[in-house]
Chains A and B, each alone.
Chain A
Amino acid sequence: MLFISKIKLVPLLLLLALTACSSQESKAPNSTTVAEPSNKSITLLFNVQSNTIDPHTDLSYTALRAGIAETLISIDNALTLQPALAESWDSEDGQNWTFHIREGVTFHNGETLDAAAVKASLERAQELNPSVKNSLHIKELKAEGQILTLITDTIFPQLPSDLVHPNTAILASESTEDSPIGTGPFILTSFRPGSELNVERNNSYWGGEVKLAKAKMAFNEDASARLLAIQAKSADIVYRPPIESFDQLRSDSSLTLESLTGLRTHQLIYNTNNTDLKNEEVRRAFDALIDRESIVESIMSGQATAAQGPFLSEAPFSPEYLTKSFDLEKARQSFTEAGYEVENGLVTSNGKPLSFRLLTYQSRAELPLISQMIQASAKELGITIDIRQVDNADEYLAANDDWDLATYSSITAPRGDASYFLNAAYTTEGALNYGRVKQPELESLIGKLNATVPEAERNELAKEAVAYIDQHMLNSYIIHPNNFVVYNNQVKNWVTSKSEYYMLTKDLDIE
């Protein structure tokens, strides 16, 4: 009897479980694709959650992506700079710059955009964000009508490309941390940190008519949830659906799947404060534990290219990278050269096995898998790797030092110029220098690069710097993943931005 009554419970439980699943699907509002001409709206689901909205400090560039704020200069998919809020700019010596600020632009609060407003905004950005201050090298700003004069503290030819960076977006003086007032095609109406933001059309947008009346940008780090959202039509555009679902998505005629080579690089960061990882040979050994081919073929299903260095091999500032191969024997040799004992294939230091802590995060689903692959290869050498998953990798890496290795992903050359990444990741105060790299020789090369104007010479210097990084294995670059976006066919004029800076635009439309 007892057993029978239990068995009766089983279908009930299954039913409960099923209803629990289905409620998740229906949770997302289903009314986003209202296609009335006057009241069109769109929902974009992005894979990295944003907890802040202030473009000057936000690491996820949300205000720019959502079309709220704009920068002086923008970049197109051919990676050339385009005038945005600055109509034109020039400098004769790479140190004294003149920017002509576009006329007839107003902020969302009605204020007119002039040089003084730009000056105030750049000052705010520098004050709130030290990495902006470090990257722009501004010594003096002068505003006169629509003319902004900018003097840098050194010769700084790549200034225009640095002004493309979302952190330099131009805001009105009344902006606060929670409500940035920009000049973009959309006005922020609500923002729920980590969850979603809503915008509405800016009727007086300088760039012309904005097609959508409203838009929602939501965040969800769970790839399956994003897949369900596009299938259930609760989102119109979804970033990075799970790679495993590509066949399914391609066979759905109501959807378009775009996959293009991105400018992003997944990497393994070595915390050089760790005594073992300070040693170049140890880093080299770890690099030999990364099976790039398998990652591209199996984990990414071919939607990536194996990375040899921070930039795509065909970039003009990429040197001849050293060949890197997945080779446990080579890893053992490197450990031997580094002075570790290798016996029966196992690595020890003074008789003790090695162990490291590897940080990873979920919002790029392949990173935890890559971590486990490295963990498994390291185990072959008797090295223990303890994997920790964190929620906000940027914040964690910057604030904590209790980790040794970290998988990370960043856009390395968003503006067709190597200097941004080299400065951010390899100078002592760089915003992305999570590995705490201190290499005076490299820094002086970067310094030289920063002070050189002619492009050919700059590329040569960048090559030299990247070759230095490569030779000393300061980081391991794993793959360049493709950028993939799936959207339903009612969406018009969607452009997958290579730089990933622009998502909601004035031309974006829905049928």
Chain B
Amino acid sequence: MRFSSASRLQPKGAFHVSKGVLKALFILATLVLVLISPNLAPQDPYKLIIADRLQAPSLEHWLGTDHLGRDLLSRIIAGIRTTVGNSLLILAISLLIGVSLGLLSGFLGGFYDLVFKRTVDAFMTLPDYIFAIVLSGLLGPGLINLLFAIISIKWVGYARLVRSVVLLEKEKEYVALATLSGLSSVRIVFKHILPHTIGNVLVLASLDLGKIILMIASLSYIGLGPQPPAAEWGSMLNEGRVYFNTAPHLMLAPGLAIMLTVLLANILGDRLRDRYDIKTKERD
């Protein structure tokens, strides 16, 4: 879902501010949704009413009921926290690890940088899906293991990106000036270099969000994610698969939820990229 951004550069101005506000609102809305989603669900997403199983959408159950008679809409809403919430968590932790390691490596240079570079290179050779499947397969199914598996491949991209920006900035005169005027390295890194990386990192992160959501959903779909009865979109897809012939809404609802969220995340990512005018394609 990436396009060359050069042709879509937007003029900066008032219009842009409103878009910034929109973005902020979007992020805020997502966060709020993630936090309060379990309370939004019209019915208890975990309450089994076996007699009502596999019902088609109705006024009482807007999206119908699943194979155990649970309200599907409520489960989709509860799934926002599990799927999107955990994606955001993964993103935050990957960012924290990636950005700090990238900053350190770029700024310290020398031996540290060499070790870092080789480690990152090693990680980059691993295909991310397969690595995540193998890792969570080895660790056993479960949410925590899944988070760990995805974080352990996702931090690399940020570290690499931040390091390259740091290397570029480090050579600039203002850094030399800051050093001359006696600022400590920590201050220089955090006060002067870090802000330069934020734009790039944000773009990569928002583009990554969709991928992480897909990854969580895919791994759950093959049974490596949160275990039943957790409301997670990927595992809901998996559970619905058995009833694909008789009750397709069981797969359509989580499938569409995943598609829409990923689409939104990707659009946000693209807009951000336009905003920060990043011409070079970032590596994953």
- Residues on A facing B (Cβ under 8 Å): 1-3, 5-6, 9, 222-224, 227-228, 242, 244-245, 248, 291, 294-295, 297-299, 365, 368-369, 371-373, 375-376, 379, 386-389
Contacts and interface: CB of A to CB of B under 8 A. Distances in A.
A290 to B, nearest CB: 12
Contacts of B247: 244
B8 interface: yes
A298 B51 CA distance: 6
A365 B67 CA distance: 11
A379 B46 contact: yes
Given A5-B3, A369-B67, A245 B245 contact: yes
Question: Counting chain A CB atoms within 10 Å of each CB, which of B51, B53, B246 scores highest?
Answer: B246
B246 A372 contact: no
7 contacts: A245-B245, A294-B50, A294-B51, A297-B50, A298-B51, A299-B50, A375-B229
Contacts of B141: 388
B243 A244 contact: yes
A245 B244 CA distance: 10
Contacts of A5: 3
B242 interface: yes
A484 B179 CA distance: 81
A394 B243 CA distance: 26
B278 to A, nearest CB: 15
B48 interface: yes
B223 A389 contact: yes
B69 A372 contact: no
Given A2-B270, A6-B1, A386-B227, A244 B50 contact: no
Interface of B: 1, 3, 8, 46-48, 50-51, 53-54, 67-69, 141, 223, 227-229, 241-247, 263, 266-267, 270
Contact of A376 (B229, B243, B270): B229
Contact of B267 (A6, A369, A371, A372): A6
Given A372-B228, A375-B229, A387-B228, A244 B244 contact: no
Given A2-B270, A388-B141, A227 B245 contact: yes
A3 B191 CA distance: 37
A299 B66 CA distance: 12
Contacts of B227: 386-388
Question: Counting chain A CB atoms within 10 Å of each CB, which of B1, B8, B51, B245 scores highest?
Answer: B245
Nearest to A244: B246
Contact of B8 (A2, A9, A298): A2
Contacts of B223: 389
A222 B242 contact: yes
A104 B182 CA distance: 104
Nearest to B223: A389
A6 B263 contact: yes
A295 B8 CA distance: 58
A6 B264 CA distance: 11
Nearest to A243: B246
Q: Determine chain A's interface SS by DSSP, over half rule.
A: helix
Nearest to B270: A2
B50 A291 contact: yes
Contacts, number: 73
A376 B245 contact: no
A373 B67 CA distance: 11
A224 B250 CA distance: 14
A2 B247 CA distance: 35
B245 A369 contact: no
A222 B242 CA distance: 7
A487 to B, nearest CB: 18
A228 B245 contact: yes
B246 A242 contact: yes
B3 A376 contact: no
Contacts of B48: 372-373, 376
Contacts of B54: 244
A297 B51 contact: yes
Contacts of B228: 368, 371-372, 375, 387
A314 to B, nearest CB: 27
B69 A298 contact: yes
A493 B67 CA distance: 36
A224 B241 contact: yes
Nearest to A241: B245
A368 B228 CA distance: 9
Given A298-B51, A376-B229, 19 more contacts: A1-B8, A2-B267, A2-B270, A6-B1, A6-B263, A6-B266, A222-B241, A224-B244, A227-B245, A242-B245, A244-B246, A294-B50, A298-B50, A299-B53, A373-B48, A373-B50, A376-B46, A376-B68, A388-B227
B242 A365 contact: yes
Contacts of A365: 242
Contacts of A223: 242
Question: Counting chain B CB atoms within 10 Å of each CB, which of A2, A6, A248, A299 scores highest?
Answer: A2
A121 B69 CA distance: 52
Contacts of A373: 48, 50, 68
Nearest to A13: B259
B51 A224 contact: no
B46 A242 contact: no
Given A291-B50, A298-B50, A224 B229 contact: no
A311 B46 CA distance: 34
A1 B10 CA distance: 12
Contacts of B229: 372, 375-376
A19 to B, nearest CB: 16
- Considering the complex of A and B, which 6 residue pairs feature the smallest CB-CB distances, nearest first? A244-B246, A294-B50, A298-B50, A376-B48, A387-B228, A224-B244
Contacts of A9: 1
A224 B242 contact: yes
A245 B8 CA distance: 51
Contacts of B67: 369
Nearest to B48: A376
A65 B53 CA distance: 35
Question: Counting chain B CB atoms within 10 Å of each CB, which of A1, A9, A372, A379 scores highest?
Answer: A372
B227 to A, nearest CB: 6
Question: Counting chain B CB atoms within 10 Å of each CB, which of A244, A295, A387 scores highest?
Answer: A244
Contacts of B270: 2
B273 to A, nearest CB: 10
Nearest to A9: B1
A230 to B, nearest CB: 11
Contacts of B53: 298-299
Contacts of B68: 369, 372-373, 376
A245 B53 CA distance: 14
A476 B229 CA distance: 22
B8 A242 contact: no
Nearest to B274: A2
